[in-house]
Structures are given as structure tokens and as C-alpha cells.
Amino acid sequence: MLHITEQDLTYYNTLGLKSSARSFLRLNSTANLPALTDIVPRFPGVVVLGGGSNVVLAPQVDELVIHVETRGVTLVDQETDAFVVEAQAGESWHHFVGLCIDQGWRGLENLALIPGTVGAAPIQNIGAYGVEQSEFFHSLVAWDMQRGEQVEMGPGDCLFAYRDSFFKHAEPGRWLILAVRYRLPHEWRPQLAYPDLARHPGIALAGAAVTPRQVFDAVCEIRRAKLPDPAELANVGSFFKNPIVDAKTFNALRELHPGMVAYALDGGTHFKLAAGWLIERSGWKGRRLGPVGMHERQSLVMVNHGGATARDIQVLADVIRAEVATRFGVRLEQEPVEMGSAASEQT
Ligand code: EPU
């Protein structure tokens, strides 16, 4: 039985935007998927919502909102050199990472404390502290809402790139990710190159004897020190992607701004600029505009001080994009996805 109701979505998005859905459905089991596919054409579209930690929701959502609430983590395969672990889409990502470490399935610890669900992880190819989920991705199971069938997708289908995948460009609402599998090699190599992690006292002290749990704990500590907890101050993490420019552009920028923070990519042919640095140097660290602002410890994180709507978010995003473009000639690209009727009308 599919139970569709109206729903206030203010507490279903970590940015705390005032929003409401005309038609909201909790998906607890995959048994209802064929019935769901049959009713989808009755709605002006579909919005799939997991933890709501990477979305900018419009005040009114006319589409059918599917809240994915399936849970469960299982070891589905043992290869000679790796575990293959499957998590249902509604599982909390952070809970999943912790559970993997408890079980001795290692590799995802740099991705601790990322808000959101497992089903959302492949969509924006979550990454932190030198690791992206694509490095351990094995495959996923999705429901094709258009054809009413279950499909399996491998890394080649998902087209993972920095904060990007096939799903970010696909028809909105067509693909419902049901479960994601990760391949976690028996041989564990700690990834500690990211500066904040390398200089963390717990990591430096442990040296070569460092354990996955220590990396997990260090990442949690670094994130807690820098990033606001959405439960205390509404946010969706980084609001913009770190822009990637070619070496020529970077060298010209470095001449003008010697302190510019950037990371070399592809052996130095390209550079990823720290958008937080660009925003801070544009004077926006800790500054507000109306009910929203950029965080005082991490200027890449937009926060809602209370009562904001998608419109307030867009106004500040436009101001920041314009100021960074004027000052540095660099275009910032928004990271969280806009969802709902009014949001699409505004852009
Ligand atoms: N910086 C500043 N001012 C700021 C913020 C940053 O100057 O206000 C400079 C500093 O030099 C800092 C450097 O930028 O050392 C990098 O900052 P940070 O380590 O905080 O990382 P980031 O590049 O701003 C990215 C991800 C984060 C992820 C961290 C750690 C993106 C869009 N963001 O941020 O991901 O946690 O690296 O790996 O790639 C997210 O996607 O929501 C997210 C939080």
C-alpha cells in the first residue's frame, strides 16, 4: 500500500529551508516499486530525498517526494583480496562507515561524518580528506522509474568525477538508487596525505602503526572543529565546488595573489583552487546577508541562521559568485542540487 500525504519538509533538509510537499511518500521496502512506477505519471515529476544534506529545496514542492528509508548492511561477496559490502540506500552514510570499521572492512574511514545517506553518496561522488567514494565503489542497484525495472550499474555507467556523476545530469527523478556496493581490499593503505589529517596529533603520534579507527576519529575531530553541525547551525556543507583551472590560468592568478591556496591535479596540468580561500579573500568569511551567511570558520559553507527560503540562498550565492568572478575571474559552481517547483523557476 502506498501512503501519500502532505508533508512539511523544513526538517527534511539540513539547510532548514521552509518547504512543503503536496505529495510525500516513505519508501521502506522495495516491494512497492512496481506500484510506485504506475502512479508516477500522475505527478508533475519525482524528487528523491535521502538525508536532505545536499539539496536546496523550493518553498513548494509539487513533485512526488520519495523519502528513502530502507536500511541494512550486508557482506555480499568475498573476493580473494577484498570484501564486497552492500548498504541499502536509506542507511546513514556515517553509520555505515562506522559499521564497516567495526567489522574490519577498511578504506572508507576518511569519509567519516559526512552527513546524508548511502543512496546519495554516488550522486555527488562524496569525497573528503583525499578520498572519494568512487575509489571503493563496486556497483549499485537502481530502480528505473521510467521503465519500471531494476538495473545494476558499475563504475563505467556512473561516470564519477569530482563532486559529479551520471546522476547529476540524468533526467530528474528517473533513477532511484536502492543499494550501493563497495569493494574494500583486505590490504589497507591509510590515506593521510591531506594536510589537516597529516598534522593531526593522533595521526602523527601513531606513525606507521596507525589504525582505521584512529583515522576515523581524527577525521571526525577535524570536521567537528571546522564544519558546523547541521543539527546546531543549518547547512549543506560546501556550497560551491572547488574550481579547477588550467596551469596557465593558475600561474597568472598566483602572480597576482601569491597566497592563493590550490592543489595540483594531473601532474600539474590543472589546479584545484580552494573556493573557501577565494570567498574569504572576497570578504565573506562569517558575513551575513539577510538570514543566511558564510560560516565563520569555513567560508565555503553557507549557513541558515533561521527562517531562510531558497530565494535567500540564491541571492547570497549570486552575490558571492559575482564578487569572486570580479576579483579573481573565476566562476564558482554550486554544489547542492536545487529541488522543487519554485527552485527550478528561479534559475
Ligand atoms: N580556506 C581558506 N578559508 C576558508 C576555508 C578554506 O583560506 O574559509 C583554505 C585553507 O587554506 C584550507 C584550504 O582552503 O586549508 C582547504 O580547506 P578545507 O580543508 O576546509 O577543504 P575545502 O577544499 O574547503 C573540501 C571539500 C569538503 C571536504 C574537505 C576535506 C569540496 C567542495 N569540499 O573542502 O567537503 O570535507 O575538502 O577534504 O570539495 C562538502 O562537500 O560538503 C565538504 C564539506
pLDDT per position in the chain (347 positions), as tens?
789 999 999 999 999 999 999 999 999 999 999 999 999 999 999 999 999 999 999 999 999 999 999 999 999 999 999 999 999 999 999 999 999 999 999 999 999 999 999 999 999 999 999 999 999 999 999 999 999 999 999 999 999 999 999 999 999 899 999 999 999 999 999 999 999 999 999 999 999 999 999 999 999 999 999 999 999 999 999 999 999 999 999 999 999 999 999 999 999 999 999 999 999 999 999 999 999 999 999 999 999 999 999 999 999 999 999 999 999 999 999 999 999 973 454 44
Fold assignment, 4-68: 3.30.43
Which amino acid would we find at residue 249?
T
Convert 17-33 to b/e letters by CB count within 10 Å (16 or more is b): bbbbbbbbbbbeebeeb
Give the residue whose CA is nearest to atom 6 of ligand 1.
276
* Whether 238 contacts 301, CB under 8 Å: yes
* DSSP-derived 3-state class of residue 163: coil
First-to-last alpha carbon distance for the chain, in angstroms, is 36
Its pTM stands at 0.96
Give the residue whose CA is nearest to atom 7 of ligand 1.
277
Boundaries of CATH 3.30.465.10 in the chain?
73-226
Residue 343: per-residue pLDDT: 44
Strands 149-153 and 137-144: antiparallel
Å from CA of 41 to ligand 1 middle: 41
Neighbour-count burial of 249, counting CB atoms closer than 10 A to its CB (0-12 exposed, 13-18 middle, 19+ buried) = middle
Å from CA of 228 to ligand 1 middle: 13
Å from CA of 72 to ligand 1 middle: 31
| CA 347/CA 340 separation, integer angstroms | 12
Structurally, at CATH architecture level, domain 73-226 sits in 2-Layer Sandwich (3.30)
Ligand 1 neighbours, Cβ below 6 Å, are: 128-129, 163, 194, 196, 226-227, 237-238, 241-242, 261, 274, 276-277, 280, 285, 298-300, 335
Å from CA of 241 to ligand 1 middle: 9
- Which segments of 73-227 are extended strands (E)? 73-78, 82-88, 127-128, 131-132, 137-144, 149-153, 175-185
CA 110-127-104 angle, to 5 degrees, is: 35
Give the residue whose CA is nearest to atom 25 of ligand 1.
128
Which of 168, 260, 277, 278 to mutate for ligand 1's pocket (most ligand atoms within 8 Å of CB)?
Answer: 277
What is the set of active-site residues? 163, 238, 335
Mention the CATH class of domain 242-331.
alpha beta
* Tally of residues, the chain: 347
Give the residue whose CA is nearest to atom 29 of ligand 1.
128
Boundaries of CATH 3.30.43.10 in the chain?
4-68
* DSSP-derived 3-state class of residue 266: helix
Q: Which atom of ligand 1 lies closest to the CA of 223? A: 36
In whole angstroms, what separates CA 171 from the centre of its chain? 19
Which amino acid would we find at residue 243?
P
Closest residue by Cα to residue 93 from 48, 58, 66, 124: 124
* Whether 167 contacts 134, CB under 8 Å: no
Boundaries of CATH 3.90.78.10 in the chain?
242-331
Give me the half-sphere count of Cα atoms (radius 13 Å) on the Cβ side of residue 147.
8
Q: Which atom of ligand 1 lies closest to the CA of 241? A: 32
Å from CA of 300 to ligand 1 middle: 7
* Whether 215 contacts 197, CB under 8 Å: yes
| CA 253/CA 192 separation, integer angstroms | 28
